[in-house]
Structure 1
Amino acid sequence: MENKENKEAAAEYENEPLIKDELERSKVKIMRALCDQEDPLTKDVDDLMIRRFLRAGGLDTEKASKLFLKYLTWKRSYLPKGHISESEIANDLSHKKVCMQGHDKMGRPIVVAFGNRHNPSKGNPEEFKRFVVYTLEKICARMPRGEEKFVVIGDLQGWGYTHSDIRGYLAALSILQDCYPGRLGKIYVVHAPYLFMKVRKLIQPFVDSNTKQRIVFVENKKLTSTLLEDIEESQLLDIFGGKMPLVPIQDS
């Protein structure tokens, strides 16, 4: 009996509309119809992706459609195989600069980026961009059904001028904002040195308002307590006072 009820509940959940707001649902249908005429890849994406671009376009279906079609063109050229192979980004992966482990209390995947493991003088700008796309694609693949966002802990301990990469930061920001709108839930910046604040001023004009409001600078003395407000101890990495081991994104 319980099995039958569970199956019925699961079936009901699967059939539940992903978008409950009637206005957004109707605009998503309009946008899908507009984009499908221009690009057949439209049929391969779900309504939530279209809604993310709709919201990025301020619910203006024409503006949002242009943003979405631009993304599809980018995806076709940047991800012709549907993914970035690890052999293409072996150098960036070898530095273990990004790890992914655990979920916050809202079920969003947690990503940790180590600023002092990125050295632009020993890297390739194009490879780094592919690494960013690989990272974002892997994060999105880990999303539970119905969840759209992830959270980042940006650890800048030991970061200095040798790790500074304005061009790389701007490229990563552009990819995130233009190709993965509505995916970022929050960024916790921890162990930020004074020097970083100077670099931040150069990047700030390129950060859209939606991204800005999701950035939280965490005081060192309140690091663990601040993170535990949103992340259970069992899901928080041990280096921040939790119990999760550190796992490089390629191994997660």
Structure 2
Amino acid sequence: MSFKRSKSGTEKTLSTEEEQIKVLEVKKLIGPIAEKCPVLCSDASILRYLRARSYNTKKTAKMLKGTIKWRLEFKPEKIQWVDVAQEAERGRLYKADYLDKQGRNVFVIRPGVQSTNTPMAQIKYLIYCLENAIWNSDSNQGQMVWLIDFQGWNTSCLSMKVARDTAQILQAHYPERLGIAIFYNPPKMFESFWMMVKPFLETKTHKKVIFVYPANARSCAVMEEHLDMEKVESYFGGKNTVGFNYEAYARKMKADESNISRIFDLCYSSSPGLSVTSASVSEEASSEIAICSNLEDADGSSANGKQDCSRMDPYLTEKDRSLSWLIWH
């Protein structure tokens, strides 16, 4: 085991062999549930949760159990294009049809474009996009690039409820998915706010944030280092003048849905009665309740002592919420 020094303290790093030992420890703590959800409890998935919890196996197991319970309750893999099409229409958030130079998916986020839908509709669409990028992608990378355009952004674009709920979902159930976040041409008011929030963020997190200004040659070089500017949209200084095409995007996303469903059918079919394609809804529900009851202390207990499958990660901090507020709103 080794350690790297950072401004915020000491960051733990493990060898491949040490990581594998930790993965096995987490699987042991989770128990037979790991076999029932092989995709969510794969080595790669567990490693992301371990890194998010600084390799603390007990906290990692608790966090991962929380995600399993959340997925059984929320069923993100069941969200379909018809459920989110209206929210996608304005192009406030979408998965780009190109990857960065490391082969990572690129999310274009335009917080200055107002959403006309409810906070729940915005969150559901975000989850839909994340699921698509993770389970149905040509990318060979588990991480993503967030490309944020601040054109039209002002304080009226802020929604604390969406920010809070978004942060909770991202940090609790999609850990270690951020590769880099490029803040493109943010206004002065945002820069001031960032300087106040930055000290509350972990060093490894805020180091992933890059500020880019179109009038600055060095900033332009950073964009070219990470992205093929022939493919990047013109509002980011690229040569793609078409930008977001809703019709083409809708066709692509709908075509992806069958593959996502197939992956999760395989994930749950290993557990009798838990198959998401089960003809008996009541049997499926009973099996899910049984699994939730075995996920002891994943998220705490409700007042009557029963486990609540809808609650989220108790380790979420104000640091986690701050970055999400900046990026998504």
Q: Is 1:147 aligned to residue 144 of structure 2?
A: no
What 5-or-longer segments of structure 2 have no aligned partner? Answer: 1-14, 253-329
Q: Is 1:78 aligned to residue 74 of structure 2?
A: yes
Is contact 1:170-1:206 (8 Å) kept? no
CA deviation digits over 1:58-108, x for unaligned, max 9?
A: 11211111011111111111116x232223223321221113121111111
1:246 to 243, 248, 252: 243
How many percent of aligned residue pairs carry the same amino acid?
A: 23
1:176 to 160, 170, 174: 170
Letter in 1 for 2:17: E
**1:1-252 matched pairs, under 5 angstroms:** 21-38=16-33, 41-45=36-40, 46-79=42-75, 82-99=77-94, 100-119=96-115, 122-144=116-138, 146-197=140-191, 200=194, 208-222=202-216, 223-244=219-240, 245-247=242-244, 250-252=250-252
1:184 to 1:171, Cα distance in 2 relative to 1, 3 A: same
Distance 2:67 2:199 in 1: 22
Is contact 2:107-2:147 (8 Å) kept? yes
Is contact 1:53-1:181 (8 Å) kept? yes
SS in 2 for 1:233: coil
What 5-or-longer segments of structure 1 have no aligned partner? Answer: 1-19
TM-score (norm 2): 0.62
Letter in 1 for 2:119: P
1:208 to 1:134, Cα distance in 2 relative to 1, 3 A: farther
Out of 32-41 and 22-31, give the one that drifted further: 32-41
Deviation >6 Å, runs of 4+: none
SS in 1 for 2:112: helix
Letter in 2 for 1:26: I
Q: Count residues with an aligned counterpart.
A: 230
TM-score (norm 1): 0.79
Letter in 2 for 1:229: E
The alpha-carbon deviation at position 243 of structure 1 amounts to: 3.8
CA RMSD between the two structures: 2.7
SS in 2 for 1:234: coil
Distance 2:105 2:34 in 1: 31
